[in-house]
Amino acid sequence: MKDLVYSFVKEAGRIINSGQSRSLVLTGNVTDLFYSSNQENGDYVPLVDLLVNQWSVKGNLLVIYELNGPIRFMNGDDARKMKDAWGKLHKDENQQAIDLALARTRQRIAELSQDPHSSFEDCLRKAQGNPTYALELLRQMCLCSRLSRDGVPFLWEDLMIIIEGAEFLLPEGEIGRMSDVDRQRVTICRDWFSDPGFGNAKDSVVLLTESMSLLNSKVVQLPQVLGVEVGAPDEEQRTHLIRWYNKQLSDDNKLKLWESQEALAQMTAGLSVHALLQLLRYASHTNAKMSATDVIAKVEAYIQDQLGEDVVEFKKPEHTLRDVVGFRQLKEFMKTEFIPRIRSTGKSALPGAVIGGPIGGGKSFLLEAVAGELGIVVLVLKNIRSKWYGGTDVLFERLRRIIGALDKSLIFVDEADTQFGGVGEDTHDTERRLTGKVQAMMSDPALRGKTSWLLITARIHLLSPDIRRPGRAGSLIIPILDPEGEDRDDFVAWMIKPVFRKSEDCATLTAAAALLKPAVAGYYAAAFAEVRSDLIATAEITGKDGLTISEIKAVIDDHIPPAVEKTRRYQVLQALVNCTRWSLLPQGGVRGEIETVREQWRKEIRALELDGVR
């Protein structure tokens, strides 16, 4: 089959070949499988094997190290070359630089200092199970590689050292709280990567880890260290895997799909190669026809496993705008402008929107209805913070990779003011870093048309101004206000419809709604819903098939609204002040007077704040 070209391999190769950096960190999808045509008929192999196959060229000597294993060479010839170079290093007692290097080694590792002329095989044995010793040995191998005698290099080849599980060797943490061995490994790597001799030579070190934030900042913040991201498989790579796998199957076991292999590749956006292989193996084993529902369930389960159920969930609203009561003007706006721009994949695509308004105004229900209309992946972001040190950054990076892999998605964030804080000096470092990354993602040109952010909040003023600006969620700020006029009539009729019974006093639902309208002055969406529930309960408890107008009014009169009027008014004003569409504001006045109107709202806000309302 046609070989796959991985962009991260090309980027890493350019960095190393140009000498831009000799210390590289591969992050992201590093535990996945990758196609390598070096195998017979091609095969999917771990990342280390892919790198070995790609970088095993003349002039390179590859060395692999993992925490629970030995330092490995790719063949006996490479090991012999390194052994010969090591022997030359330790036999030349007249080189002052080597003596100094060994003296530094004695301070760091007692085992080497006891026997500086120990054989290379002894050093390799000591390195197994001793990561601190192993790192220093690898550093000394680089020193050995760049030395020469009488103009003849000790080692003609350039070392290419690949270190797996780097986060376990160099864990993030405050230096003062780290153990002695962890601190020692950090010191070794800082000295190693920042050494001008190493930087100017041609040996390279490649660290593998899921996230830069898992590595000690004293190492990754060195200017000599660069990172390259290993992304989730794209559609071309998923299509390649499906075709490759199906080709391996016998005619009786070929995949049975509801549509084409290309359609399956599109629907599995977000899956890793491991996860997609699991899906394919199960389908071929059961010999059952794979359905779109099965694929969607697998994608959802995988994403939730990656991020955690307490971080993200998939939203499948069962209601649409047809089920939303009132909001006539807003629903028309949603249908004609908002939804088409969310669906767009071009320059007209909306990067995000903020829905503001008072508590109990129906914001979440309305936006869920919009999500029900869209027919795209809806991810509800619940809590991206982790209790573990550095965990929040890792979760965010996973989210970023998944969103980047999906063809089209919608990120739904309720109570957004509690999810994303500010970026000021009084904000915690983790909070500030998270908010900054979210802001950058919202305005990332690479994601425009691929994903949109819908933020819902009753306290829009608590959102970072950087989030509220155009080009991010602030591209569209929509106020959800309490129903007035015909919208209020719709709510009153909806409230009494399940229990209304005709009587001599009132023969029609419309007439009943008109009679009851004064009794529900000041009601909002949540209040209407609560009274509707009470009316239904009253009818059930009394065993009646309906209630008369007087009985309905008695239930309404028994309700006392909660003492949140000032708080709700404050939230309404904040939503109005931040609104970015003149057509969505309460009608009246002249377009050019918006700043005058806004100033009136601000004065009322300040008055409420003086009264202790926030």
CA dist., res. 399 & res. 307, Å (int)? 7
pLDDT of residue 591: 66
Indicate if the pLDDT at residue 296 is higher than 90: no
Q: What average pLDDT does range 111-126 have in this prediction?
A: 66
Task: Say which range, 204-208, 215-219, 315-319, has the weakest mean pLDDT.
Answer: 315-319
84-108: pLDDT as tens digits? 888 877 654 333 343 444 445 444 4
Q: How far is CA 590 from CA 77, 536, 598, in A?
A: 84, 44, 13
pLDDT, tens digit (0-9, with 9 covering 90-100), for 218-252: 999 999 999 999 999 998 999 999 999 999 888 88
Strand 352-356 and strand 451-457: the pairing is parallel
Burial of 181 (0-12, 13-18, 19+ CB in 10 A): exposed
Residue 606 CB neighbour total at 10 angstroms: 10
At 213 the three-state DSSP class reads helix
Does residue 411 contact residue 452 with C-beta atoms inside 8 Å? Answer: yes
> What is the radius of gyration, based on Cα positions, of the chain?
32
Q: Where are the beta strands (DSSP E) in 201-329?
A: 204-208, 225-230, 312-314
DSSP symbol at 504: S
Q: How many residues does the chain have?
A: 614
Angle, in degrees to the nearest 10, between helices 131-145 and 180-194: 10
Q: Which amino acid is at 409?
A: S
- Per DSSP, the chain holds a count of helices (H) and strands (E) of 27, 16
* 82 to 116, 129, 188, 290, 483: CA distances (angstroms): 16, 21, 21, 52, 79
Burial (0-12, 13-18, 19+ Cβ within 10 Å), 272 = buried
Q: Interhelix angle for 509-516 vs 486-496, to 10°?
A: 110
Within 8 A by CB and 6+ apart from 287, the residues are 252, 253, 256
pLDDT number for residue 99: 41
38 pLDDT above the threshold of 90: no
What 384-388 contacts at long range (C-beta under 8 Å, 24+ apart), as own/partner pairs, is: 384/311, 384/419, 384/434, 385/430, 385/434
* 489-492-496 Cα angle (round to 5): 140
Q: So what's the pLDDT on residue 91?
A: 58
Q: What pLDDT, on a 0 to 100 scale, did the predictor assign at position 317?
A: 81
The string of DSSP codes covering 215-238 is B-HHHHTSTTEEEEEEPPP-HHHH
**Among 386-400, 461-475, 554-568, which stretch is predicted with the lowest mean pLDDT?**
386-400
What span, in angstroms and rounded, lies between the C-alpha atoms of 381 and 182?
A: 35
Residue 121, both tokens: 């095989």
Which secondary-structure segment (H or E) carries 44?
Answer: strand 43-46
The CA distance from 27 to 479, in Å, is 41
Distances in Å between the alpha carbon of 240 and those of 34, 261, 276?
Answer: 11, 10, 12
- Return the closest-CA partner of residue 35 out of 227, 294, 205, 248: 248
Whole-prediction pTM value? 0.76
Q: In the prediction, which pLDDT does 434 show?
A: 76
Q: How far is CA 601 from CA 596, 598, 613, in A?
A: 9, 5, 15
Give the least confident one: 21-25, 52-56, 71-75, 311-315. 311-315
The residue behind tokens 């508590």 is: 359
pLDDT, residue 423, reads: 53
Give the integer Cα–Cα distance in Å for 246 and 279.
12
pLDDT value at 420 more than 80: no
What was the pLDDT predicted at 404?
A: 83
Question: Model confidence at 592, in pLDDT bands (50, 70, 90)?
Answer: low
DSSP 8-state assignment for residue 475: G
3-state secondary structure of 366: helix
pLDDT score of 537 = 95
Q: What is the rounded distance in angstroms from the CA atom of residue 183 to the CA atom of residue 243?
A: 48
| Tokens, residue 117 | 């002329």
The pLDDT assigned to 93 comes to 38
**Spatial CA neighbour of 117 closest among 130, 134, 99:** 99
In the chain, % helix, strand, coil (3-state, to 5) comes to 55, 15, 35
DSSP 337: I
Burial of 354 (0-12, 13-18, 19+ CB in 10 A): buried
CA 604, CA 535: separation in Å to the nearest integer? Answer: 36
pLDDT tens, residue by residue, 10-19 = 999 999 999 9
Q: How far apart are CA 470 and CA 176, in angstroms?
A: 43
pLDDT for 110: 45
Output the average pLDDT for the chain. 86
- How many CA atoms are closer than 13 Å to the CA of 357, on its beta-carbon side? 25
% residues pLDDT > 90 (the chain): 48
Task: Give which of 283, 230, 233, 239 is closest to 261, Cα–Cα.
Answer: 239
How sure is the predictor about 426, in pLDDT bands with cuts at 50, 70 and 90? low
- pLDDT tens per residue across span 122-177: 889 989 989 999 999 999 999 989 888 888 888 899 999 999 999 999 998 888 88
